[in-house]
Structure 1
Amino acid sequence: MGLCRRFCCSRGPLLVLFLASAVPLGVIFSLERTKNTSETFEYRSRGWIRECAKWDADRHRFLVSTFFDGGVAQIPLPGGAAAPPDTTLEEQSALHDPAVAGNASVGILVDAPRRRLLVVYSDLLRHRYSALAAYDLSSWRRLFLAQLSGPNDEPSDADDATLDGEGNAYVTDAKTNKLWKIGAGGELLGEIRSSVGLNGIVYHPNGYLLVVHTFGAQLFRVDPSTAGVEVVQVTGGSLLLGDGLELLSPTRLVVAGTPSGRFVESGDDWRTAAIAEIYRGPMHRIASSVTVKDGKVFLSHLIGGGLSARTHLITEAVFSPVKGKQP
């Protein structure tokens, strides 16, 4: 996540105006009328920007970080099934934590084995506060709130989080070149400094982290035990504007961004990789995060549509081989 903050550091409506001025209105209206051929969940929202969506399988709902609204919303599916065709779902407020009031909610992560949701908070305008919190998925009781930086620390912009097998969390700082490591109980275990700017992040079961650089178009392999950083040599295309990540298997990774989704594969433990397939969805909406529901890949989009009624899209990513690559 975090692509929005690279375009605009003010409030959501200004970003919408910026994007609208950059794309002819006729083009936008045409794109809005074009129906997605893949499975799509459309939901009404109170806000223009929704940074990250994750599927909560046990409770049959999507959870969404509400960005400038500073909380988490839920989109329950009727009966836990797919939404009927042409049905617009309703966003419901689920979580607002007074302890982090005034900060944006950005990356979120469903920790199903521990029945909790991790939420990354950031002071997007002044870069004077970053935190990671954990909440019970049933009661929304806060389990911990780990402050990562404050007014007396260097500027920060906490962005996205991942978990290792022991429940330790790793949070990217999109403002400076570091990762925070937080224990399963919320204790700050240290920082990992690197020479790269960091954004979307996933933990690989072989013990390292994969992190994308949005504007550097690079994927990095980070060893949290040594703070060693390697550039993954990616062929078959570019990862420019890559944002949220989801590891589908030890050898397969999905990168959200523009174009909407890239399917990346590696056969040598992520020393090298290749973009094998691409999904081009509603690119004017800007795909910002990835989640998996019932074995299918879904992308959540940053920008809401409509004027009087704001709607957001979570679309199934149906990938096609890149040009010149065999199916």
Structure 2
Amino acid sequence: MAIRCCSCRSTLLLLLLVSAVPISIIVSLESTTWTSSPNRHHLRYRSLGLVRECAKWDASGGRFLVSNFFGGGLAEVSDVDVGAPAERTLMREPDVAGNVSLGLVVDGGRGRVLVVFSDLFRHRYAAVGAYRLDNFERIFLTRLSGPEDETSFADDVAVDSDGNAYVTDAKRNKIWKVGSGGALSSVIRSPLLERRKEWYHLVGLNGIVYHPNGYLLVVHTDGGDLFRVDTSTEEVTQVDVEGSILGGDGLELLSPTKIVVAAFRPSARLVESSDDWRTATVTGTYSGPLHRVAAAATAKDGKVYVSHLFGGRSHVISEAVFSPLSSAK
């Protein structure tokens, strides 16, 4: 899950453009979106931050966990508070001060959450941290790259059945593998992962999820590609996708045969496979508030929720109901 640009100038330009949209237009867009879907659950919550990169449902705590971007840590949003709940900061990682918190994954079976940290502007620092879900004490903080290494942009994270973490690099199109105890064990590279459009190459490898059959599914934002990475052999193959996932950001595995791809427009796509993700088809789309920019997806009680990058004092996690595509098989 990445902010839409990995370069300083592109990021600042995007923020400037969003902030320049007249308030009256934003209010109109918001009203149209919510009134057109009155039976869906749209969770508005109060926040002091402009950007919120990722939200994931923590079933054990009955809350959404949110990476608070410039806050360099995590916050929680309750789904049971009356009215508009307020975001509550859970932790700020002091050893990554000046960097942003991005993708996260809830590893409920081990009672922990993993969070990615990156240097937004210079791309000279990347790390992944693991924290206890009950008190958010640090379990480990692993540096993935530093000033002496090639520039990089750690983005999203997934965890396999053995507790290994996999972190995407949206700038260099590689995947770091970190053991369950926090040791950096390998870096997965492949010519396939380098794919990018000649005319557009801002964001590479982005959202990532682990499939229980022993592989990762990873989206390449610029190329609109989906890759299957075997966690045992580190072999990379491309999934033949019918339909577009160009601009794909965060991923969520709904079942062994279904994933959700969050994106700029439409806000999310439902993708299905019947052959263990050798091929796949986009079968549905969801269009949320365009001006907020969808960045991540999560599942709660059998429903899909999409979180958005931009908000200011009010952010939204919206229920996604997919419209089927007539061309889907």
Cα deviation for residue 178 of structure 1 reads: 1.0
Among 292, 300, 303, the alignment partner of 1:293 is 300
Aligned position for 1:314: 317
What's the % identity of the aligned pairs?
57
Tell me by how many angstroms 1:15 deviates: 3.5
Deviation at 1:25, TM superposition (A): 5.7
What is residue 4 of structure 1 aligned with on the other side? 4
- Show the 5 A alignment for 1:203-282: 203-235=210-242, 237-257=243-263, 258-282=265-289
Does structure 1 conserve the Cα–Cα contact (< 8 Å) formed by 2:5 and 2:11? Answer: no
Deviation digits for residues 213-267 of structure 1, max 9, x if unmatched?
11111111112333322221111x2101110001111111110112111110001
2:28 matched residue in structure 1: 30
1:152 is paired with a residue whose SS is coil
Determine if the alignment matches structure 1 residue 109 to structure 2 residue 115. no
What is aligned with 1:16?
A: 15
TM-score, normalised via structure 2 length: 0.90
Residue deviations 1:113-152, cap 9 Å, x none?
1111101011111111111110111111100011111110
Q: Which of 167, 170, 173 is equivalent to 1:171?
A: 167
Name the SS of the counterpart of 2:4 in structure 1: helix
**For 2:60, what is the secondary structure of its paired residue?**
helix
Which consecutive unaligned segments of at least 5 residues does structure 1 have? none
SS at match of 2:162: coil
Deviation at 1:14, TM superposition (A): 5.7
8 Å contact kept, 1:16–1:48: no
User: AA paired with 1:15?
Assistant: L
SS for the counterpart of 2:16 is helix
Structure 2 Cα separation of the partners of residues 65 and 158 of structure 1: 14
The one-letter amino acid paired with 1:260 is: S
In 1, distance between residues paired with 2:55 and 2:182?
A: 23
For residues 15 and 97 of structure 1, the distance between their equivalents in structure 2, rounded to whole angstroms, comes to 27
What does residue 55 of structure 1 align with?
57
Instruction: Return the offset for 1:9.
Output: 2.4
Conserved in 2, the CA contact under 8 Å of 1:3 and 1:241? no
Distance 1:150 1:165 in 2: 29
The answer to whether the Cα contact below 8 Å between 2:33 and 2:288 also exists between their aligned partners in 1 is: no
Q: Which amino acid aligns with 1:200?
A: G
2:163 maps to 1:186:
no
How far 1:56 sits from its partner (Å)? 1.1
Going from structure 1 to structure 2, the CA distance change for 1:13 and 1:230 (only over 3 Å counts) comes to closer
Task: Give distance in 2, aligned partners of 1:314 and 1:11.
Answer: 25
The TM-score with structure 1 as length reference comes to 0.90
Other-structure match for 2:70: 68
CA deviations on 1:60-90 (whole Å, 9 max, x unpaired) are 1111001122111111233xxxx55xx2110
Pick which of 23-32 and 289-298 moved more.
Answer: 23-32
User: How far apart, CA to CA, are the structure 2 residues paired with 1:193 and 1:277?
Assistant: 31
Number of aligned residue pairs: 313
Tell me, yes or no, if the aligned pair for 1:252 and 1:263 is still in contact at 8 Å: yes
Match of 1:145 in 2: 141
Give the secondary structure class of the aligned counterpart of 2:311: coil
Q: Distance in 2 between matches of 1:88 and 1:323?
A: 37
Q: Secondary structure at the match of 2:249?
A: strand
Shift, 1:16, TM fit: 3.2
C-alpha contact (below 8 Å) 1:12/1:49 kept by paired residues: no
Structure 2: gaps spanning 5 or more residues = 194-203
Q: Is the contact between residue 251 and residue 266 of structure 1 (CA under 8 Å) also seen in structure 2? A: yes
Distance in 1, matches of 2:291 and 2:96, equals 31
SS of the equivalent of 1:243 reads: coil
